Amino acid sequence: PLIEPVPALPALYAAVGFAIFAFLAALYLVPALGPTFIRANLKGRDLLKTYDTPIPESQGLVCASIYILLLILFIPYAFSESITNHHDTPKHAREGIVVNEFPHHQLAVYLSSLLSLLMATMLGFLDDVFDIRWRHKLPIPIIASIPLLIVYYSERGATDVVVPLPLRWLLGTLINLGPLYYVYMSLLSTFCTNSINILAGINGSEVSQAAVIALSIILNDLLFLPWAFGFRIPLPLHVTDGVRVGGVWSAGMAYGSKILVERHLFSLYFMLPLLGVCLGFMYHNWYPARAFPGDTLCYVTGMAFAVVGIQGHYSKTLLLFFLPQIFNFLLSCPQLFGLVPCPRHRVPRFDPETQLLYPSRAEFKEKRPSALASLALRVFSALRLVELTLDDRTGEIAQTTNLTILNVFLLRFGPMREDSLTRVLIATQVCGSLVAFFVRYGLAGLVYDG
Ligand code: UD1
Ligand code: MG
- Measured CA to CA, the distance from residue 158 to residue 56 in angstroms comes to 44
Does the complex come out with an ipTM higher than 0.85? yes
User: Binning pLDDT at 50, 70 and 90, where does residue 237 land?
Assistant: very low
pLDDT at 227: 56
Of the two residues 161 and 347, the one the predictor is more confident about is 347
**Letter string b/e over residues 353-363, b meaning 16 or more CB atoms within 10 A of that residue's CB:** eeebbbbbbbe
pTM of the model: 0.91
pLDDT at 98: 64
Q: How far is the CA of 203 from the centre of ligand 2 (A)?
A: 12
**Which DSSP symbol is given to 385?**
S
pLDDT at 8: 55
pLDDT at 236 over 60: no
- Nearest-atom index, ligand 1, CA of 46: 22
214 lines ligand 1 (CB under 6 A): no
Instruction: Give me the amino acid identity at 89.
Output: T
359-375: per-residue pLDDT in tens? 999 999 888 899 999 99
282 lines ligand 1 (CB under 6 A): no
* Cβ count within 10 A of residue 87: 8
- Measured CA to CA, the distance from residue 154 to residue 172 in angstroms comes to 26
305-341: per-residue pLDDT in tens? 999 999 998 988 999 999 999 999 999 999 999 999 9
- Nearest-atom index, ligand 1, CA of 203: 23
410-432: per-residue pLDDT in tens? 999 999 999 999 999 999 999 99
pLDDT at 244 over 50: no
pLDDT at 142: 86
57 lines ligand 1 (CB under 6 A): yes
- Nearest-atom index, ligand 1, CA of 343: 11
Based on its alpha-carbon atoms, the radius of gyration of the chain, rounded to whole angstroms, reads 24
112-167: per-residue pLDDT in tens? 999 999 999 999 999 999 988 877 888 878 888 889 999 988 876 777 777 777 88
3-state secondary structure of 391: coil
- Measured CA to CA, the distance from residue 119 to residue 422 in angstroms comes to 29
**Which DSSP symbol is given to 416?**
B
Instruction: Report the percentage of the chain scoring pLDDT > 90.
Output: 64
**Helix boundaries (H) for 159-257:** 168-171, 179-197, 205-222
pLDDT at 260: 80
CA-angle at 17, arms to 13 and 19, nearest 5°: 110
Instruction: Give me the amino acid identity at 187.
Output: L
pLDDT at 384: 95
Measured by CA distance, the residue closest to atom 3 of ligand 1 is 345
Q: Which residues pair with 176 in a beta bridge?
A: 160
Measured by CA distance, the residue closest to atom 14 of ligand 1 is 201
User: Binning pLDDT at 50, 70 and 90, where does residue 87 land?
Assistant: low
User: Binning pLDDT at 50, 70 and 90, where does residue 249 land?
Assistant: very low
135 lines ligand 1 (CB under 6 A): no
Out of 194, 199, 209, 292, mutate this one to test ligand 1's pocket (max ligand atoms within 8 Å of CB): namely 292
46 lines ligand 1 (CB under 6 A): yes
User: Binning pLDDT at 50, 70 and 90, where does residue 262 land?
Assistant: confident
Instruction: Report the percentage of the chain scoring pLDDT > 70.
Output: 87
Out of 53, 131, 282, 345, mutate this one to test ligand 1's pocket (max ligand atoms within 8 Å of CB): namely 345
CA-angle at 106, arms to 24 and 241, nearest 5°: 100
The answer to whether 213 and 191 have CB atoms below 8 angstroms apart is no
User: Binning pLDDT at 50, 70 and 90, where does residue 268 land?
Assistant: very high
